[in-house]
């Protein structure tokens, strides 16, 4: 799909070949991502639309990027890191007209794909490991990571987040973290839901009518009614017991720790009440269409109207809300996610900002936007298949464009704009250079162990999933007290706090954890990145606001590239993986060539080879180190072309 | 600095002989610092700035302590002791100069005679992202332009006092609100994550000789020149400029400003331990080395849930450090030159949310910030809220007015218009007017 002649032949052959099924059909049993024909056909549709765009503007279609540029771009966009030297050498050396197609397939099947998507999901959902109070987001984080790893379709993902209910530790319902992470601020949570999934910015309507748009404060509360009435499951059965122990905590210290476990980390992570469907207007409600304290029923502000009674609690508000978002907002839901994916792959959304939805007819290219919305629906919201299609297009392969878009509010389809790598892409690429293919390492696993105070107990005997399931099933205060007493005894006598040397496994899966300095991908490191980490320095999101990452340069980043991590882990580290690729290199030239391919993913130009050879001739071994340092600190490494 | 001795950068890179490379290092430190002292800004800015200086105050530095999350005004600087249902368990304490503040701030009560508490702040933005943005930039967050942060404006209008050290440093802060925006990367804050670790990577590593170091830079520069030719792009250029800055910083004597180990035990204990306390101490050191604007952030103020426990905890971290900072600055005679700001994006509701373990929600229509030093009168409160701290009664101060007051304290022209590269007009505090009556 590179040269024009091949391209033209393809169009002709497709037009002629009437055995292609009607639009929209791939074998429904198969995964759209596995249907090569379907992927290719869809990619062609997109290219046809882009070609039309260029014809209408009487502009010449840009050239496609060369192999090396394409390869690096595909790796970074598809799996969030540069290729290893081995991967790069392999791709650059193979011949054949379908090598780019094969590369994209390789990337989509790589474990790196889900790591890359996880960073995006964590940024979007503001996933932090910890929260105020004793609870944590461990099972929720794991739920998201698993969903990305299993390529859960987006509509299912959203439904399971928004309609979630139940036990926060049970892997099936751990998506309740979506709500419990924002305990105490359900309205902010709602505003984020509308923003992320529907591109509808309603934060301001929480307090007043939107002076620039049509959203009213009443609309906001009608929506909030769907998710109103969130509380911890069964906590009331423990209230008295909790107060007793807490008031006496100096004397009953051990029991207090167990009580905290139950209160904060068990009950505190559950979500009961599936959405009342009605809500009281706030005390400061200032408009004439309602009174403070008045109950209003749920009602959707656009799309198909869904209502719930203001006269009684109906109790399935969250489900109704989820269904409305996903299936009853016309093209909005599919368009928003399609545009987000377009931005991810192509560099700029068809409309921007991508979390402010506008109708296709108002975008720079309505026909394309409509097509993409339908395509997203067609692939069953399979984000991997969708991105796969985008990466197969010729449009994706256009040469890099150094200029900002000529169209103010969206993409001009003129080649991927040059932009700095994200902090995760930088980190993931640096560890690839220092430690080799990071996708070979195992993922961080969920820590389900029961913690009393700061130590895990009953390891190998019982975990949080079992404990929480049993506790949440208790039906009376008395049952809770009895269980609690029994459990305290069990902890006192039982398998217990591990002393130095004792194995932590005993039949249950070993917990895989990475410290903050581990050379593993960002998706496996603590979230948010610690303040002293390279990720933070390069602008990783603190995950307090939606998509809060930054690509702003600062002097600390430059110092780091000159004297910091790069120096310690790459240049001055003889065990760095990147030097392994030099094994067997016969000459200085060959060594230089391999260093270039490992770091820049391309061979050096003649001029560059001359400079580097001079360096090596003059400085010997330290010349190679200087070359590595210079290559990694240069702009070419930091920027995505 | 003599402009006529500046040599074009290229000359230093293309020569391979040793003496020239050493020369490059020395000259880089002097020549490429992005310094913008008054005489170089061009006639309009210089004269306006001079005029501003005559009208305004004479503070030289700002230490901007940002309480992120929305600090409850009622439980800190605007308590309402007569309303138990608003105050919950929070008590009050009467500090020096007869200024009454929350009982959670006993050490601060010892320095209230240096503070001007503004109880009448009002923001239009009640959500974190927008609230924090407008507090730091004076303009509402937009999808179409990135405004410069307040610290960046101070650097732009007032220049650096010390060319060899960053003019704007942000400790434990958020890069989204401390960026140079359309002024460019030169005006972004240099970030410090952990104050006790100083400025990371600011020394040439021991394993690298000076010679090798400059060889690396020379190679990188050649690569970058080629890259920039292929892709002439502003973001690419921004990184190149930062290299110059980084090099000058590495050679600077003032790097020791970042080293907290140089403080004696007594002083370190005065501030206390913890990231925020150490950040305040570092801020004091930095302004002593003539850094213009230092921001130190303290998070965790978003107390929707269990407000009182959480605020008490935050106040413990804040109280000792803040009191120590003011005392220490005063002792060293730097308080009159340094404006110490305590700011936040909004306050919290007088109504206590019992169902959220006694939490308080966001409240942008009335909240408190504090100014101290830099010519500000001490021992006073400016502006009043009503009896529950719900609405402003007297002397409303918008976020923009607050920022204009900071500009005024520094003698910077708050009404000077600068154009963005996209030809739109901007000012340091948008339409804000400084509150002049709080200056002594």
- Rounded to whole angstroms, how far apart are CA atoms A546 and A104? 29
Residues in chain B with CB shorter than 8 Å from the CB of A206 are: 126-127
Q: Which of residues 333-392 of A touch B (CB under 8 A)?
A: 352-353, 356
Q: Which of residues 420-479 of A touch B (CB under 8 A)?
A: 420
Which of A285, A558, A621 should one mutate to test binding to chain B, selecting the residue with the greatest count of B CBs within 10 A?
Answer: A558
In this complex, do A531 and B242 lie within 8 Å of one another by their Cβ atoms? Answer: no
Which among B197, B240, B357 has CB closest to A532?
Answer: B197
Residues in chain B with CB shorter than 8 Å from the CB of A133 are: 305-306
Both tokens of A565, joined, read: 């991590």
- Rounded to whole angstroms, how far apart are CA atoms B102 and B125? 25
Q: Which of residues 186-205 of A touch B (CB under 8 A)?
A: 188, 191, 203-204
CB neighbourhood size of B235 (10 A)? 20
Nearest chain A Cα to B128, which residue?
A545
Tell whether the model's pLDDT for residue A2 goes beyond 60. no
Residues in chain B with CB shorter than 8 Å from the CB of A553 are: 185, 188, 235, 238-239, 242
Angstroms from B232 CA to nearest CA on chain A: 6
Nearest chain A Cα to B233, which residue?
A402
Which among A191, A564, A619 has CB closest to B200?
Answer: A564
In this complex, do B127 and A203 lie within 8 Å of one another by their Cβ atoms? Answer: yes
Quickly state the pLDDT bin for A495 (edges 50, 70, 90): low
Question: What residues contact A276, with CB distance under 8 A and at least 6 apart?
Answer: A225, A228, A229, A313, A314, A315, A317
Report CA A325 to chain centroid distance, whole Å.
Answer: 20
The answer to whether residue A110 neighbours chain B at the CB level (below 8 Å) is no
Which among A418, A558, A630 has CB closest to B242?
Answer: A558
Which among A536, A550, A562 has CB closest to B246?
Answer: A562
Nearest chain A Cα to B129, which residue?
A545
Nearest chain A Cα to B167, which residue?
A555
Which of B21, B136, B189, B201 should one mutate to test binding to chain A, selecting the residue with the greatest count of A CBs within 10 A?
Answer: B201
The answer to whether residue A232 neighbours chain B at the CB level (below 8 Å) is no
Report CA A333 to chain centroid distance, whole Å.
Answer: 18
Angstroms from A627 CA to nearest CA on chain B: 7
Nearest chain A Cα to B237, which residue?
A635
Tell whether the model's pLDDT for residue A213 goes beyond 80. no
Q: What's residue B39's pLDDT?
A: 29
Quickly state the pLDDT bin for A1 (edges 50, 70, 90): very low
Nearest chain A Cα to B206, which residue?
A563
- Rounded to whole angstroms, how far apart are CA atoms A526 and A602? 33
**Smallest Cα–Cα separation from A142: which of A123, A131, A127, A160?**
A127
Residues in chain B with CB shorter than 8 Å from the CB of A537 are: 191, 193, 200
In this complex, do A558 and B243 lie within 8 Å of one another by their Cβ atoms? Answer: yes
The answer to whether residue A243 neighbours chain B at the CB level (below 8 Å) is no
Mean pLDDT in residue range A428-445? 94
CA R_g for chain B = 23
Quickly state the pLDDT bin for A208 (edges 50, 70, 90): confident
Which among A418, A551, A567 has CB closest to B208?
Answer: A567
Which of B21, B137, B175, B180 should one mutate to test binding to chain A, selecting the residue with the greatest count of A CBs within 10 A?
Answer: B175
Which of B34, B127, B234 should one mutate to test binding to chain A, selecting the residue with the greatest count of A CBs within 10 A?
Answer: B127
Lowest mean pLDDT among A191-200, A311-320, A423-432: A311-320
Which ipTM value was assigned to this complex? Answer: 0.85
In this complex, do A554 and B231 lie within 8 Å of one another by their Cβ atoms? Answer: no
Nearest chain B Cα to A561, which residue?
B201
Query: Is residue A4 exposed (0-12), middle (13-18) or buried (19+ Cβ within 10 Å)?
Result: exposed
Q: What are A420's strand-pairing partners?
A: A639
Rounded to the nearest integer, the mean pLDDT of chain A is 89
- Return the higher-pLDDT residue of A369 and B421: A369
Which among A184, A627, A635 has CB closest to B356?
Answer: A184
Residues in chain A with CB shorter than 8 Å from the CB of B212 are: 619, 622, 625-626
Angstroms from B152 CA to nearest CA on chain A: 12
Which among B224, B232, B235 has CB closest to A634?
Answer: B224
CB neighbourhood size of B427 (10 A)? 21
In this complex, do B172 and A531 lie within 8 Å of one another by their Cβ atoms? Answer: yes
pLDDT in tens, A582-600: 888 889 999 999 999 999 9
Nearest chain B Cα to A532, which residue?
B193
Q: Do β-strands B384-385 and B168-171 pair in parallel, antiparallel, or remain unpaired?
A: unpaired
**Smallest Cα–Cα separation from B374: which of B322, B404, B410?**
B410
Lowest mean pLDDT among A170-184, A525-539, B26-40, B231-245: B26-40
Angstroms from B439 CA to nearest CA on chain A: 35
In this complex, do A562 and B219 lie within 8 Å of one another by their Cβ atoms? Answer: no
In this complex, do A555 and B179 lie within 8 Å of one another by their Cβ atoms? Answer: no
Which among A545, A554, A612 has CB closest to B128?
Answer: A545
Full 3-state SS string of chain B: CCHHHCCCCHHHHHCCCHHHHHHHHHHHHHHCCCCCCHHHCCHHHHHHHHHHHHHCCCCCEEEEEEECCCCCCCCCCCCCCCCHHHHCCCCEEEECCCEEEECCCCCHHHCHHHEEEEEEEECCCCCHHHHHHHHHHCCCCCCCCCCCCHHHHHHHHHCCCCCCCCCEEEECCCHHHCCCHHHCHHHCCEEECCHHHCCCCCCCCCCCCHHHHHHHHHHHHHHHHHHHHHCCCHHHHHHHHHHHHHHHHHCCHHHHHHCHHHCCHHHHHHHCCCHHHHHHHHHHHHHHCCCCEEEEEECCCCCCCCHHHHHHHHHHHHHHHHHHHHHHHHHCCCCCCEEEEEEECCEECCCCEHHHCCECCEECCCEEEEEEECCECCCEEECEECCCCCCEEECCEEHHHHHHHHHHHCCCCCCCCEECCCCCEECCCCCCCCCHHHEC
The answer to whether residue A206 neighbours chain B at the CB level (below 8 Å) is yes
Question: What residues contact A457, with CB distance under 8 A and at least 6 apart?
Answer: A449, A450, A451, A491, A494, A495, A496, A497
In this complex, do A555 and B246 lie within 8 Å of one another by their Cβ atoms? Answer: yes
Tell whether the model's pLDDT for residue A3 goes beyond 60. no
In this complex, do B194 and A626 lie within 8 Å of one another by their Cβ atoms? Answer: no
Q: Is-contact B439 B57, C-beta < 8 A? A: yes
Tell whether the model's pLDDT for residue A370 goes beyond 90. yes
Q: What's residue A13's pLDDT?
A: 44
Phi, psi of A366 (to 5 degrees): -55, -40
**Smallest Cα–Cα separation from B303: which of B104, B62, B110, B107?**
B104
Which among B188, B212, B231 has CB closest to A622?
Answer: B212
To which H or E segment does residue A197 belong? helix A186-198
In this complex, do A567 and B361 lie within 8 Å of one another by their Cβ atoms? Answer: no
Query: Is residue B236 exposed (0-12), middle (13-18) or buried (19+ Cβ within 10 Å)?
Result: buried
pLDDT in tens, B334-392: 999 999 999 999 999 999 998 888 999 999 999 999 999 999 999 999 999 999 999 99
Which among B188, B193, B304 has CB closest to A536?
Answer: B193
CA dihedral B4, B8, B13, B14 (to 10 degrees): -110
The vertex-A127 CA angle with A126 and A133, nearest 5°, equals: 105
Residue A404 DSSP label: P
Q: What's residue B55's pLDDT?
A: 54
* Cα dihedral A208, A214, A218, A219 sign: negative
Q: Is-contact A388 A110, C-beta < 8 A? A: no
Asked if the peptide bond before residue A353 counts as cis, ω within 30 degrees of 0, the response is: yes
Low-confidence residues of chain B: pLDDT under 70 = 1-56, 143-144
In this complex, do A542 and B232 lie within 8 Å of one another by their Cβ atoms? Answer: no
């Amino acid at each position: 799909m590179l040269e024009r002649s091949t391209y033209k032949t393809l169009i002709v052959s497709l037009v002629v070949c009437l055995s292609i099924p009607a639009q929209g059909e791939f074998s429904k049993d198969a995964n759209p991502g596995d249907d090569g024909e379907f992927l290719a056909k869809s990619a062609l549709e997109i290219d046809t639309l882009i070609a039309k765009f260029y014809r209408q503007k009487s502009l010449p279609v840009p050239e496609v990027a060369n192999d090396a540029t394409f390869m690096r771009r595909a790796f970074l966009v598809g799996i969030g890191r540069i290729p290893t030297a081995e991967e790069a050498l392999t791709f650059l050396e193979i011949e054949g007209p379908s090598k780019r197609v094969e590369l994209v397939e390789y990337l989509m099947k790589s474990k790196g794909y889900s790591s890359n998507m996880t960073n995006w999901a964590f940024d979007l959902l503001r996933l932090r490991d910890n929260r105020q109070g004793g609870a944590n987001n461990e099972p929720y984080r794991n739920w998201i990571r698993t969903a990305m790893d299993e390529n859960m379709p987006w509509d299912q993902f959203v439904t399971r987040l928004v309609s979630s209910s139940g036990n926060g530790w049970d892997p099936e319902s751990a998506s309740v973290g979506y709500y419990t992470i924002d305990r105490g601020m359900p309205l902010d949570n709602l505003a984020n839901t509308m923003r992320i999934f529907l591109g509808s910015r309603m934060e301001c309507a929480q307090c007043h009518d939107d002076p620039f748009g049509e959203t009213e404060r009443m609309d906001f509360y009608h929506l909030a009614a769907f998710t109103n009435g969130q509380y911890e499951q069964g906590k009331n059965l423990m209230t008295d017991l909790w107060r007793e122990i807490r008031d006496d905590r100096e004397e009953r210290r051990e029991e207090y720790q167990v009580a905290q476990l139950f209160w904060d980390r068990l009950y505190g992570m559950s979500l009961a009440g599936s959405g009342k469907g009605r809500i009281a207007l706030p005390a400061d409600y200032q408009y004439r269409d309602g009174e403070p304290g008045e109950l209003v029923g749920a009602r959707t502000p656009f799309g198909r109207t869904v209502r719930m009674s203001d006269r009684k609690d109906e109790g399935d508000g969250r489900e109704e809300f989820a269904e409305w978002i996903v299936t009853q907002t016309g093209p909005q839901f599919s368009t928003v996610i399609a545009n987000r994916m377009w931005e991810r792959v192509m560099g700029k959304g068809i409309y921007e900002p991508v979390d402010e939805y506008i109708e296709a007819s108002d975008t720079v290219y309505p026909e394309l936007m409509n097509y993409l919305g339908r395509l997203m629906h067609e692939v069953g919201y399979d984000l991997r298949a969708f991105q796969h299609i985008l990466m197969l297009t010729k449009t994706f392969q256009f040469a890099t464009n150094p200029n900002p878009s000529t169209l103010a509010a969206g993409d001009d389809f003129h080649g991927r704009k040059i932009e700095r790598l994200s902090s995760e892409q930088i980190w993931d690429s640096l560890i690839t250079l220092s430690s080799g293919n990071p996708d070979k390492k195992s993922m961080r696993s969920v820590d389900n162990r029961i913690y009393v105070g700061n130590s895990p107990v009953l390891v190998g005997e019982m975990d949080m999933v079992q404990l929480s399931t049993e506790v949440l099933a208790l039906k009376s205060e008395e049952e809770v007290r009895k269980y609690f007493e029994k459990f305290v005894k069990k902890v006192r006598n039982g398998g217990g706090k591990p002393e130095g040397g004792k194995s932590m496994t005993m039949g249950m899966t070993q917990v895989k954890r990475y410290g903050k300095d581990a050379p593993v991908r960002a998706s496996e490191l603590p979230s948010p990145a610690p303040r002293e980490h390279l990720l933070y320095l390069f602008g990783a999101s603190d995950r307090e606001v939606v998509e809060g990452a930054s690509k702003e340069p600062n002097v600390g980043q430059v110092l780091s590239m000159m004297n910091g991590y790069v120096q310690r882990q790459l240049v001055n580290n003889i065990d760095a993986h990147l030097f392994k690729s030099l094994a067997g290199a016969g000459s200085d030239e060959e060594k230089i060539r391999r260093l270039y391919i490992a770091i820049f993913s391309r061979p050096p130009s003649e001029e560059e080879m001359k400079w580097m050879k001079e360096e090596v001739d003059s400085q010997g071994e330290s010349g190679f180190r200087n070359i590595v340092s210079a290559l990694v600190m240069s702009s070419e490494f930091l920027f995505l072309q | 600095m003599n402009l006529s001795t500046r040599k074009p950068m290229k000359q230093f890179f293309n020569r391979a002989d040793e003496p020239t490379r050493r020369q490059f290092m020395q000259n880089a430190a002097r020549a490429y610092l992005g310094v913008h002292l008054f005489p170089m800004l061009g006639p309009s800015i210089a004269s306006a700035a001079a005029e501003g200086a005559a009208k305004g105050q004479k503070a030289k530095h700002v230490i901007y302590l940002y309480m992120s999350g929305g600090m409850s005004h009622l439980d800190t600087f605007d308590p309402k002791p007569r309303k138990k249902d608003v105050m919950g368990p929070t008590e009050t304490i009467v500090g020096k100069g007869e200024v009454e503040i929350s009982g959670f701030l006993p050490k601060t009560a010892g320095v209230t005679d240096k503070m001007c508490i503004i109880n009448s702040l009002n923001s239009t933005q009640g959500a974190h992202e927008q609230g924090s943005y407008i507090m730091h930039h004076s303009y509402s967050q937009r999808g179409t332009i990135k405004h410069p942060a307040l610290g960046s404006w101070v650097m732009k209008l007032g220049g650096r006092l010390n060319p060899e050290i960053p003019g704007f440093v942000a400790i434990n802060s958020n890069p989204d609100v401390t960026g140079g925006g359309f002024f460019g990367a030169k005006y972004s804050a240099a970030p410090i994550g952990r104050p006790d670790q100083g400025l990371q990577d600011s020394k040439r590593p021991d394993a690298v000789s000076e010679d090798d170091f400059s060889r690396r830079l020379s190679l990188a520069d050649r690569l970058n020149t080629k890259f920039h030719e292929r892709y002439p792009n502003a973001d690419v250029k921004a990184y190149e400029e930062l290299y110059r800055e980084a090099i000058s910083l590495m050679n600077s004597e003032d790097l020791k400003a970042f080293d907290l180990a140089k403080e004696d035990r007594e002083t370190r204990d005065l501030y206390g331990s913890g990231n925020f306390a150490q950040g305040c101490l570092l801020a004091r050191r930095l302004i002593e080395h003539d850094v213009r604007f230092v921001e130190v952030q303290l998070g965790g103020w978003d107390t929707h849930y269990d407000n009182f426990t959480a605020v008490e905890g935050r106040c413990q971290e804040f109280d000792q450090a803040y009191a120590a900072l003011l005392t220490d600055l005063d002792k060293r005679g730097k308080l009159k030159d340094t404006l110490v700001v305590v700011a936040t994006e909004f306050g919290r509701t007088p109504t206590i949310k019992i169902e959220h373990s006694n939490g308080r929600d966001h409240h942008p229509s009335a909240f408190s910030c504090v100014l101290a030093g830099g010519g500000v009168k001490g021992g006073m409160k400016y502006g009043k809220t009503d009896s529950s701290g719900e609405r402003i009664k007297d002397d409303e101060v918008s976020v923009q007015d607050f920022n204009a007051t900071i500009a005024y304290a520094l003698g910077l022209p708050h009404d000077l218009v600068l154009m963005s590269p996209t030809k739109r007009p901007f000012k340091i505090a948008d339409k804000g007017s400084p509150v002049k009556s709080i200056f002594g």
